[in-house]
Every structure is written in structure tokens, then in C-alpha cells.
Chains A and B, each alone.
Chain A
């Protein structure tokens, strides 16, 4: 049986990371490499002051020739500069480099060694816990939690350590979140011991002029600038070093119920197209507002709407007003009278622009209802009576019912020759905001 026909808009579809790329140099990176580089680009930097992208600028500086120290020649020196806030790498004392890229080093964190040792220790602990959990899972299978056992979700759990109900039910085990850190299989299970952190009795006293020293405001860093560098969190602007730029991701979406791929972007960061793009707009007729007359309180006005058919076969559309007590009808502030007859939309014909022949299809439209018809689009009238005299937009809502043929499904061969695909009738709630009442 082919995939489900269901609207996914009230359930966020499952997210998956597809690819990593740098937003400024558009360099693609596989996920493993991205994790190794801590999701940062190797070439691009962010301004520590205003967080824009830094650009490399060159100047000519006189430098002594290596052979003859008395003569000087012009050599190119490169520095980083921000075009937005005019920050330069010279402001923090970073010397100009002689290579255009790759010369810039991030300052070392003095605590790196200790942190690495702690991470190793906790990775081992997490691995051990995971093994225990796996053993428990296999021991008692819980049939009402099928998703937890599918290959896809285990893969997700391993990578990120969150997202499944199993993880969320254990708030008292923070170490499981570190299970996502990569750990090579078959590593020697050597015991890593760490020294516990030492609590000190004596703390460095504050400087004497702490309260009396006048503040040099340009030198004080803002909280945002400080927290973007969690290693150092410098309080002075002369300590703000540029950080490598964060990578962005492209993600693919999946249906939660049937695990079908809904949206899969291209791998190339410069391309905005999709490999798979199953969006509702390409299957459901689109309602657009064409013209609104002056809306008056409790006076009937005629609003011109258009209906566009995105599919290639003829679609029949019926509009129905919302009933009293409809749970989806929360915002409407006006009464609406929709056309009662069924509207027929011609299929979208890609070659219609080049076809000089007149419209062969004759739909016999009621001129009171249908204003115009143009290939796969019709314009029709609805009557609106605003019910509330308040400030704010007049909102109307109604239901649109149309037939949908799932052309992606394989046509089953039947004995009578080819049978047309079954039409499924779908109903959607439409809400239109028509603008303010003009007195």
C-alpha cells in the first residue's frame, strides 16, 4: 500500500541533520569532520565584537630583506577586519600574518588538558551505562514502544543522546547525554581515574580600588560578547579574540507515522533546490485574496478571491462555511457567505503559455459566482459581513473541500482495463485576514 495521505501541519515532522556547511565560504563538510572541528569552519572567523564575518585585508609593510638587512622591501601583511563595527585583529594585539589564510590561531585554553581527561572518563562511564541499558532492553521487550527499537531511532540516540522517550524518562542520569560523544569501538577498556576537584579555602581578594576605580566603558565587554567565548569569558575588550565561524546545517524532514522522507535538500550548499520536496502547496488548491472593497461594519461586502490548482488534473472544490461551535474557528470576526455550487478548476498545463488556441474547455460558470477563469485559476466572490466594530483585522474562515488523487501511488492493474485512481476528498480550514474596517 502506498504512503499515507495526511496533513502534517499540526505535528512537527521528525528532523534530521542532512549536511553541514559554512555560511560564508560555503564549504561542505561531512558530519564526522564537523564534529571533530566542533561545528566550526576552519577558514572563517566571526568578529568578537559584533559577530559579523571577518574579512582578511592586506597592507604593504616595509620589511628588511633577508640577505641585506639594510635594504627594505614591501611585503604583504594580512590582518582581520570587520566591515560592520571596524574591529581589527590589531585591536587585541594579534600580529599581522604573512599568509592570507590559515595563519590565525585561536588562543589555547589553559584548562584543556583537565577537560579532556574528564571527557574521557565520562565517555567510558557512558559506554558502560549504555551496555547495561542495552542488556536490560533486550531482556524485557516492551511492545507498546515500537519506535524505540527501530534502527533509525537507535542511530539518533547514539548520535545526540536525546529525542526518544527512553532518554527523557531518566532525568537523574545526566551522563547519558554524553553517550553521544564518539567513542571508537574496540578501544581498550583501561580504567581512567580522575582526581576530584579540589575546593580551596582561600580565594584571591578583590583589588583595593575595585569600587573606586572609574570604569572605562569602551573596554567593558557585553554579556553576549563574553558568553560567546565560554572558554575565557573576558571582561575586557582587549582580550576578545575572534572565534571560528559556526557551521549551519541543512535538515531533512520525515513523517512521524510512516517514516517517509518528506523533504530532502540538495547536498551542495549553493543549491536551494530539493531532492525530495513533498509540500502541501503543490497538492492543495491555493486560496489568495485578489481585491477587497471598503469593509464596513455590518454591511455586506464582496471580496474577490482566487483559487489556483497546482496539479495537472481537474479538481472540484466545494466551499462550506464554518458551523457554530467549530473548534477550529477561533479567530473569525465576520460572517461569510461562500458560493454554494461546486467550483471546477482546470488542470495546470505547463504548455499553456505557448498554446495560442482558445480555451477548449467550457465550464459554464455562473457569472455571479465566478468572476474570471484563466487556465488553472478562477476568481470567485464571497460575501463578508463584519460583525465586530473593533480595531484590528476582519477575519473570516471557511472550509474548503477538494478531491485529491494520489498520482504517486502505483496504478493497480484491474481487469477492466485502466481504472482511474481513486479520488480522496480532503477538507481544510481556511482563515483569511482582510484588513481593518474602514468607517
Chain B
């Protein structure tokens, strides 16, 4: 049955009254910008100019795009659930950012945030996602794993393969804004659906509040357990409230398909295995995702998705596919080559240490994954990673033999990824 509550949106002068039930048909209609109405306007004692944040020391996408004029226009608005601009930008105000790494600096509290605050979110999305314009472009979704070509890597180099994404349950607020009841509802809906998975996807849920010491240790040893967020980027956005209430981890018995519940997003879905069979990892990823979607739809729920922004997640950086496909790969020689960064850039790949984001590489082993999230489909992004990593391995092999890297002209080893950066090395 559809979700158990009705939200009535109050009317403002020139916007009609809308009622939203459970989040199916009406939601799609609602998301056309002129029909999304704000919730109750905020009580303000001070004019917008007195409230405008001091962003002079800031280096994040929000700070680059939030002009006083946009702030003044949006600061009185709220989404139907009552989420406000100040709440959305709080994390970016509190975390001025890094001189080298530009963070996003704002989050969505619900699906409607992307509409009600579009005057800020659209330019942020454009900046973060290489000029993707949500007002005119459409995002392609493609979870057909059969289209993948040559996705099995040389296991002398690739130690493990992994694909992750996130999914949000339509009709429930996102982690920065959700109430305890909503968060528990997300947990209930997802865990209920996951219990319907069969075959190699059969698995079990471990709630953070109820897990035993042994279960906890096992999950740590498997590298599955997630901790209460400590990054101020996340805590300032309010995502860690009420921890560990309604948080948990589900994984299949084979430990190759894993879902995090109520961490930074409603769900994070991960397919992984040791070795280089990225094709199989992605195939299981697609199959698992589709099966979970089917199971929640049976129960009257659906994922947040629209054709402009693809899958809707908490952080604007994860819109579109929300997909990061990566490998742990040994590149001890190539990584010391001064051309390494440029090569990665032109392949539309990024490197991280083997502890994940913000960690260092150990023993020449790097986490290599796709840079992009929005504007290309899942299949395209995974193919990009496959082709790119194959090329990197070729480079490493050549360096091993004392040969120089073969810089390919466009069209040879590495296919055109359509937004190929500066196209310089290749």
C-alpha cells in the first residue's frame, strides 16, 4: 500500500493548493518547477542582507554560486516538509573547504529541495558536473550489464573490483532532514524488501543498534561496517542525528552484495569481489538493484528519480547515476610517472588511496574510479573505467619492460569518453 501519510501543502497567493499522497503519480507532476510550492514561509526578524553568510574564506560550489541576490530570493522559502535554504547550505558555511579540493557545500533535505532551491542548485550542478544543465538536458539511465565489453582485468594487477551507488525512497525526507520516524520507515521499507531477495542474493540485515559484538567484529573484518560519520562535512549537515537509530547493514551470504541503510543516503548499494571480474560485479549490481526496485514497488514505494537529474541523492555530487565503479590496482611505476595525473584526467578517472576517499595509496596500490556521475549512463561509466584501467595496466606493463608508455592518439586504445577533459595526453 502507499505510504501512510498525507501532506497538505499550504497555498501562497499565486500557487495552487496541492496535496501529495504517498509519492507516486502526483510526485512526478509536482516536480515540474512551477508547481512545486514552498511550505510555510519562514519567520524572519532580519533582512536577507543581515543573514547572508560570510563566504569570503570559502572554496566550495555553494559559496561560488550563492550570490546575495539568490540568497534573498530563496531564504524565505521552504520545501513542503519545511526544509530551508539555511539548512541546505549549513554544511558549506561551516566548512570553508580545501584550497585544492572543491567540496559541494550543500545538501538536499528532500526531493523537493532540488526544485524549490533550483536557483542555487542548478548552477552548483552545472559547476560540479561539467556543465550539465538540468533545465535543458536529460540524464540517461542504463542498467543493462550485457552491454559491457571486456570487463575482466589482469589479476596480476587488479586486486579487487567494486561498484557502488545510492538510492532514495520517494516520499521520505533525506538524511539531513528526516525525522526519527521517517528514518525508521526507510529502514523498515528497505529491510522488508531485501528479505525477498533470493539465490545468490539471499542475505541478512544487521541493525547497528542490535548487533552483537561478534557480528560487529565480523563486519569490521569483512570491511563492511560503517562508522558514525566524523567528517564535519557530514555532521554539520545533520546526517548523524540520533545515531545509531535505524542504521544498519545488509549483505548477502556470499558477501558480494551489500547495502548500507541510513548512512549518508537512504541506501548505498555495493557490489564487490576480489579479483578483476568487473563485468560480473556490474552484472550482479544491476540485477540486485533491479530486484530491490521491484520488491519495493510491490509494496507501493519507488526510488526518487526523474529524467533531468536521474537518481536523487543527498549530495548533489551523487546525482545521475550516483555510481562509482572502481578497482584496487597495482601501478607502482606508472603512479610515479609525472604524466600519471594527466593520464587519469583525460581518461575521466580519479585516484584515491586504498582506504577510500582522503586516504593515501599503500604499496603502489591505488583505488581508480570514474570521475563523473551525471550525464552519462551506468553502462557508459563502467565501460569508461574498464577501458581506462586496461590502458593503465598496459602502461604499467610497458614501464616494467623498460619501454615508454604508448600515448595513443584519439581513437586507438582508449575510446572517446565524450567529455574527455582537455584531450591533451591522448
Q: Do A and B assemble together?
A: no
